[in-house]
Copies of this chain bind each other. A is one copy, B any other.
Amino acid sequence: MSEKGIAYELQTEKPWEGRDGFFAMNPAGRVPVLHDEERGITLADSRAICEYLEETVENNQLISGTAQQRAEVRRLVAMFDENFFNDVSGPLLHERMKKRLILRQAPDAKMLREAMKLSHDWLDYIDYLIDNRPWLAGATMTLADLAAAAQISVADYLGGIDWSTHEPARGWYLVIKSRPSFRPLLSERMEVIQPPSHYAEVDA
């Protein structure tokens, strides 16, 4: 939303607490939900919200180009939202956040090792894309870069990213981290859990 120049206010929601008012806004019980008080509009689902903002706010097109290029942006968004989440950020959140704060259990070392291994494969794929294109989906920054960086940021916070052998991916991510839209997000902290020291650094 900052990239589109739209003012917003964040509200914390813990979907696992099952608050009635939240399920009324999104029967799927998931974040994010966008609520526009003035227009009386409530929207749910990350991609539905992004498509809506792209259709209603012309400023800084993030699903841009020909129909084929737009399909490439959407392919990559889905890949990071679903496959990267299933492989890396989802298991890390479960093992290092949910087990610590909610279930009061120790993380499963085998699950963490598997997530770290898959994380390397994903960084290899980003290295490959960035060796061939300036941004993940092509010549310009798109929603694909933001979706990928959002997932990677969660994984990086939870110590799941080893950047040492992934220079192209690391360079791409440093550029995203230093954007005015992204930088403020890096100062947010989870309860109890602290990120590694490199997490919020924007120059290296």
Residues of A within 8 A of B (CB): 27-28, 30, 41, 43-45, 47-49, 51-52, 55-56, 67-68, 70-72, 74-75, 78-79, 82-83, 125
Contact, CB under 8 Å: A83 / B28: yes
Q: What number of copies of this chain does the assembly contain?
A: 2
Contact, CB under 8 Å: B83 / A71: no
A52 surroundings in chain B (CB, below 8 A)? 67-68, 70-71
Contact, CB under 8 Å: B125 / A47: no
- Decide yes or no: A74 and B47 within 8 Å by CB, A28-B79, A79-B28, A83-B28 being known contacts: yes
**A72 nearest CB across to chain B (Å):** 8
Q: Could you tell me the distance between the alpha carbons of A56 and B52 in the complex, rounded to whole angstroms?
A: 19
Q: Could you tell me the distance between the alpha carbons of A51 and B72 in the complex, rounded to whole angstroms?
A: 11
A44 surroundings in chain B (CB, below 8 A)? 75
The 3 A-B pairs of least Cβ separation, nearest first, read A48-B74, A52-B71, A45-B78
By CB atoms of chain B within 10 A, which of A30, A41, A75 has the most? A75
Q: What are 19 A-B residue pairs whose CB atoms fall within 8 Å in the complex?
A: A28-B82, A30-B83, A43-B68, A43-B71, A43-B75, A44-B75, A45-B74, A45-B78, A47-B74, A47-B78, A49-B71, A51-B51, A51-B71, A51-B74, A52-B67, A52-B68, A52-B71, A55-B67, A56-B67
